[in-house]
């Protein structure tokens, strides 16, 4: 079981976001159900560069990998954010599998030839998340 929380705000100062995640992570540990923040929470926040400090400060923080949101708000395929994508991928416990592009968080038709480069990029990102999760599961399995 997971709890998807649309909580927090992108505009909150870093210190306030830290207090929020301290409290959320304690509650997650107390009740034993992973919380997965989504877009309105700072780790999945508007820009990947805003997410990095939270991901670095909170090693137990888990996220929904909704990279389509980052692509549309950054208006690019995140070529200059590969290090942040790698960090976020390592923390992802859920993939929001939609393919975004510079003008929208979702391509109209993923089978259309003109969006093939976007689909391929997202599939590589998702493959990395799956590989990381599978590796982690194998490392903790008896």
pLDDT per position as a tens digit, 4-50:
666 666 778 889 889 988 988 998 889 887 665 554 455 556 688 88
Give residue for tokens 């079981």.
1
pLDDT band of residue 62 (cuts 50, 70, 90) is confident
What's the CA gap between 61 and 54, in Å, rounded?
Answer: 8
pTM of the model: 0.83
Query: Which two structure tokens, joined as six digits, stand for 35?
Result: 């919380």
User: What is the average pLDDT score of the chain?
Assistant: 85
Joined tokens for residue 112: 């259309």
Best CA proximity match to 52, nearest among 32, 93, 81: 81
pLDDT of residue 39: 41
Torsion 66-31-52-11 (CA) sign: positive
Judge contact between 8 and 17, C-beta under 8 A: yes
């Amino acid at each position: 079981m997971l709890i998807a929380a649309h909580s927090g705000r992108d505009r909150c100062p870093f210190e306030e976001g830290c207090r929020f995640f301290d409290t959320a992570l304690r509650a997650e540990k107390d009740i034993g159900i992973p919380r997965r923040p989504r877009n309105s929470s700072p780790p999945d926040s508007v820009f990947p560069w805003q997410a990095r400090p939270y991901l670095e400060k909170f090693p137990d923080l888990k996220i929904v990998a909704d990279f389509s949101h980052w692509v549309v708000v950054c208006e690019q395929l995140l070529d200059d954010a590969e290090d942040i994508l790698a960090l976020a991928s390592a923390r992802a416990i859920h993939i929001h599998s939609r393919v975004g592009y510079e003008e929208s968080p979702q391509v109209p038709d993923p089978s259309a030839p003109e969006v093939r480069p976007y689909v391929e990029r997202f599939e590589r990102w998702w493959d990395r998340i799956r590989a990381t999760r599978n590796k982690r599961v194998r490392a903790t399995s008896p």
